[in-house]
Structure 1
Amino acid sequence: MQQILVVEDESVIRTALRRLLERNGYTVAEAASVQEAEAKHNLIDFDLIISDLRLPGAPGTDLIKKAGDVPVLIMTSYASLRSAVDSMRMGAVDYIAKPFDHSDMISAVERIIADHPTPRVEDSQRSATVSDDSGDPVSGIIGNCPAMLRLFEHIKKVAPTDSSVLVLGETGTGKEQVARSVHQHSKRAGKTLICVNCAAIPDTLIESELFGYEKGAFTGANASRMGLIEAADGGTLFLDEIGELPMEAQARLLRFIQEGEIRRIGSVHSRKVNVRLICATHRNLHSLAAEGLFRQDLYYRINVLRLALPPLRERGKDILHLAEHLLQVQAQRLGKTGMELSPRAIQAITTYQWPGNVRELQHAIERAVVLAEGQEIDNEVLGIDLELVNINRIRGQGIQTASHHTPRNITSDPAEDLSLEDYFQRFVLEHQDSMSETELAQKLGISRKCLWERRQRFEIPRKKASSGSGRRRKAAS
């Protein structure tokens, strides 16, 4: 059973988070500060540490170095979002904004623990071997999350061989970049790399494009033409979106893979070619083959070595690093140096799901650099509506909202599992005597107007000034 340490000075949040995690099968320890966490616990014994950013005494980011290889998830309000991003640069595995939804927290915990298993000696030795290797087979590919590190290690093993490679990943994840990396670090690096998008060529032309044709083979064939496979002789052929290849072309491609030869359309002679094949697809070829929509024998031929690219939404803090890199590239290209992402832009980038993956992020950054009027890029020029993103996340997780007419029981045991509405009501009631409205709003990560609106919705009146404070104001006047 995984062990989690929660470091949070607010007892309501700490207790609710402990109950939430325990209910989902985790063993949970608590601390109210960094100093208490060090005094009571051995930090390296935990699988994950969840810490508030702002704590009495040392900040939560101090745990990053103290915990060694144990991942640290930082909790923060919107008001300190920039500091949360800085903490990620310091080594925090991720951050989550308060008040957080239960499903968001559990999803983050599951993902982080899955991506950061308890270190083993052999794992550390393997990591050291990978980092010490002078030959870099992943130049041009940015990524430091566990999934990408595994991909880089596989590329190192795959690149020197001549075996066929199948690259899997959603649209826009960078499959062509992976194919280029495999080619550049293979024995064929000095030869030609031919890239073909099978979905971009009409079915009637795909065979002639791949295999070439002889003069007079069909109407309009006024001269013989070399095909793309033949043009890649000695090098590498990359067939992107191979799942879109017509069945007739699949049969001819299978013969090329089996025999190492091609025959131009209209010719009676075959030609030997020495080509390494790399294929890519976003589709499930195994299911297509089972349904008769893709040749099974071809699937088995191309599925020799397999490289899987994770979607951008599953790459954790890689998203922010990639966005900042793309921002520098685009700003330099357009002569707009010194540009940076605003806190709202960072929040948008790290919470948006990016269905178009790296390609969508690249286009969003390019558009933002072109449209931005100052040095700072906001979420609006990125084309991301933060409110819509949050609403979609809540809808997707089936959050039950509170009734406007029936307020929740706000006097129950503070150790109960709190919803977002429960958390808001309890926090306001417990702190409105000691905090101003501005301080309450900042701690909750919302505006004063939003705080007022939620007070009205949950029927929580503002605390009137005490008679003592009134007398003090009168005496002062």
Structure 2
Amino acid sequence: MQQILVVEDESVIRTALRRLLERSGYGVSEAGSVQQAESDHSFNDFDLIISDLRLPGAPGTDLIKKAGDVPVLIMTSYASLRSAVDSMRMGAVDYIAKPFDHGDMVNAVERIIADHPTQKAQEQKATASNSGDTSSTSGIIGNCQPIQILFGHIQRMAPTESTVLVLGETGTGKELVARSVHQQSSRANKTLISVNCAAIPDTLIESELFGYEKGAFTGANASRMGLIEAADGGTLFLDEIGELPMEAQARLLRFIQEGEIRRIGSVHSRKVNVRLICATHRNLQQLSAEGLFRQDLYYRINVLRLSLPPLRERGKDILHLAEHMMQLQTEKLGKASMHLSPRAIQAITTYQWPGNVRELEHAIERAVILSESEEVDNEALGIDLELVNINRIRGQDGIVGSTNRSSITGSNEPQEDLSLEDYFQRFVLEHQDSMSETELAQKLGVSRKCLWERRQRFDIPRSKSTAGGRRRKSEPQTG
């Protein structure tokens, strides 16, 4: 995991950056000044340093020489050409003006780390290349830590004959994991049969799995092999096993215990050699405690377990997946190469994706079809960026339209999933009683007009102390 050091004296902005970068798959450390950065950290441990230009004590540009070959990105609230040019003359790789959105920051970080690899990063890349490390396994794309752990577990579990239980939310790619386990096993050249237990009616599931003999029931005009028997020598993948009826669960348990099946209407059992992989988005342990799933079957299938992270917890993988899916869709539709706009990147990294990878795939497909230019915007993805941000503020922090601010000021540590826009609102609410509008605007790096517009947009009233005599004494009226 690539490591970033954020040096910023404002804890609100510093923590906002940490949350954003961690959500994008980076490891992040913090410091409030150049002196603290020097005393608490070794610069050689980082792939990038992001520092504010104006800090208490030494300026952020002092880090450029101290950091050695580690690139330094300078942030400035004073986005003048002179300060930017001076910073880059001193060796900064780039600068970014505050306030900035998710897309601008993530794009800058990705570009700088890719274009300015440190010696440590080059050595790690060479080691990974020599060890045959890959970022994709049987269609599973990802470099985040949970996915890398998953790859390692698959490699250890696949060569065995033990039953595997795959857990994960709907749309996370459980069937891809099952296919990967099969392809890395000794049965790779044999059949893999996938069965969605939720898609087969309860009255047919047993005959589908175990088969039947001629005359076993009305309409059984000929004998038929079941799916378990058809998978003999290979692998059987039972998706959504939590939806399996109790009667079928009993028959499945016997198959697992004895390694044999008996067709419906037959008196003879047949030995089968099948590797079983099961998957579910439900809590089987809770279902078994409630009597809705056989406890003995749960213990039988819960031998080796693989857990898939939801898409919202996969950081930078979200963008990699989106770009990969976009490339596949443009090739499929015969369109020219397309790319995501900054607002689309912000939408993709901000949206929670309850439908996970499947929902992302459908959103990208829709965007490629509907977009008339090479740049895909968030509207084509079907994501209302403003609604996502406002809903997050309302639902997680109670900022908009709230008169009770104890949840905001009562803790020094902001909530986990706040966006940079949320922190902008938090900063205003925390400091408007002690700062004038001019001071607030300068600290945030925006004009007074922009600050006023954001207050209107997010329905954040000015405090009485700020709107009253203090403003009249020290500030001109907003025209």
TM-score per shorter chain, which class?
0.7 to 0.9
Tell me the equivalent position of 2:186.
187
Alignment check: 8 A CA contact 2:312 2:352 kept:
yes
CA distance in 1, matches of 2:395, 2:47: 26
**Change in CA separation of 1:302 and 1:6 when aligned onto 2, cut-off 3 Å:** same
Q: Secondary structure of the equivalent of 1:280?
A: strand
Alignment check: 8 A CA contact 1:234 1:275 kept:
yes
Q: CA deviation at 1:225?
A: 0.6
Alignment check: 8 A CA contact 1:339 1:376 kept:
yes
Tell me the equivalent position of 2:260.
261
Alignment check: 8 A CA contact 2:47 2:70 kept:
no
CA distance in 2, matches of 1:244, 1:407: 45
Tell me the equivalent position of 2:386.
387
**1:314 is matched by which residue type in structure 2?**
E
User: What does residue range 61-72 of structure 1 map to in structure 2 within 5 Å?
Assistant: 66=70
Normalised by the length of structure 2, the TM-score is 0.72
CA distance in 2, matches of 1:274, 1:88: 48
CA distance in 1, matches of 2:261, 2:312: 41
Alignment check: 8 A CA contact 2:14 2:30 kept:
no
Tell me the equivalent position of 1:162.
161
Tell me the equivalent position of 1:277.
276
User: What does residue range 51-200 of structure 1 map to in structure 2 within 5 Å?
Assistant: 51-52=50-51, 57=61, 66=70, 77-78=99-100, 81-88=103-110, 90-91=112-113, 132-133=131-132, 138-200=137-199
Tell me the equivalent position of 1:107.
none
Alignment check: 8 A CA contact 2:167 2:305 kept:
yes
**Change in CA separation of 1:217 and 1:136 when aligned onto 2, cut-off 3 Å:** farther
For residues 319-339 of structure 1, give each alpha carbon's deviation from its aligned partner in whole angstroms, at most 9, with x where no partner exists: 111111111111111122221
Tell me the equivalent position of 1:430.
439
Q: Secondary structure of the equivalent of 1:160?
A: coil
User: What does residue range 256-335 of structure 1 map to in structure 2 within 5 Å?
Assistant: 256-335=255-334
**Change in CA separation of 1:369 and 1:5 when aligned onto 2, cut-off 3 Å:** closer
**2:247 is matched by which residue type in structure 1?**
E
Alignment check: 8 A CA contact 1:53 1:59 kept:
no
**2:7 is matched by which residue type in structure 1?**
V
**2:103 is matched by which residue type in structure 1?**
L
For residues 403-432 of structure 1, give each alpha carbon's deviation from its aligned partner in whole angstroms, at most 9, with x where no partner exists: 79x999xxxxxx999933236744852275
User: What does residue range 344-423 of structure 1 map to in structure 2 within 5 Å?
Assistant: 344-401=343-400, 419-422=426-429
Q: CA deviation at 1:392?
A: 2.1
Alignment check: 8 A CA contact 1:5 1:50 kept:
yes
Asked whether 1:31 is paired with 2:38, we answer no
**1:82 is matched by which residue type in structure 2?**
D
Q: CA deviation at 1:128?
A: 5.7
**1:139 is matched by which residue type in structure 2?**
S
Q: Secondary structure of the equivalent of 1:77?
A: coil
Tell me the equivalent position of 2:420.
none
Tell me how many residue pairs correspond in the alignment.
404
CA distance in 2, matches of 1:135, 1:433: 46
Alignment check: 8 A CA contact 1:327 1:339 kept:
yes
**Change in CA separation of 1:382 and 1:321 when aligned onto 2, cut-off 3 Å:** same
* Residue ranges of structure 2 left out of the alignment (5+ in a row): 19-27, 55-59, 72-95, 115-122, 407-411, 415-422
For residues 3-38 of structure 1, give each alpha carbon's deviation from its aligned partner in whole angstroms, at most 9, with x where no partner exists: x96512xx5x248858x99xxxx9964225xxx676
CA distance in 1, matches of 2:252, 2:137: 29
Alignment check: 8 A CA contact 2:399 2:405 kept:
no
Asked whether 1:7 is paired with 2:11, we answer no
Q: Secondary structure of the equivalent of 2:237?
A: strand
**1:148 is matched by which residue type in structure 2?**
I
Alignment check: 8 A CA contact 1:137 1:155 kept:
no
Q: Secondary structure of the equivalent of 1:364?
A: helix
Alignment check: 8 A CA contact 1:172 1:358 kept:
yes
CA distance in 1, matches of 2:444, 2:395: 34
Q: CA deviation at 1:436?
A: 9.6
Alignment check: 8 A CA contact 1:195 1:237 kept:
yes
Alignment check: 8 A CA contact 2:195 2:238 kept:
yes
Tell me the equivalent position of 1:103.
none
Aligned-pair Cα RMSD in Å? 4.4
Q: CA deviation at 1:388?
A: 1.5
Tell me the equivalent position of 2:57.
none
CA distance in 1, matches of 2:443, 2:285: 62
Alignment check: 8 A CA contact 1:243 1:283 kept:
yes
Q: Secondary structure of the equivalent of 2:353?
A: coil
CA distance in 2, matches of 1:59, 1:343: 29
**1:302 is matched by which residue type in structure 2?**
I
Alignment check: 8 A CA contact 2:99 2:444 kept:
no
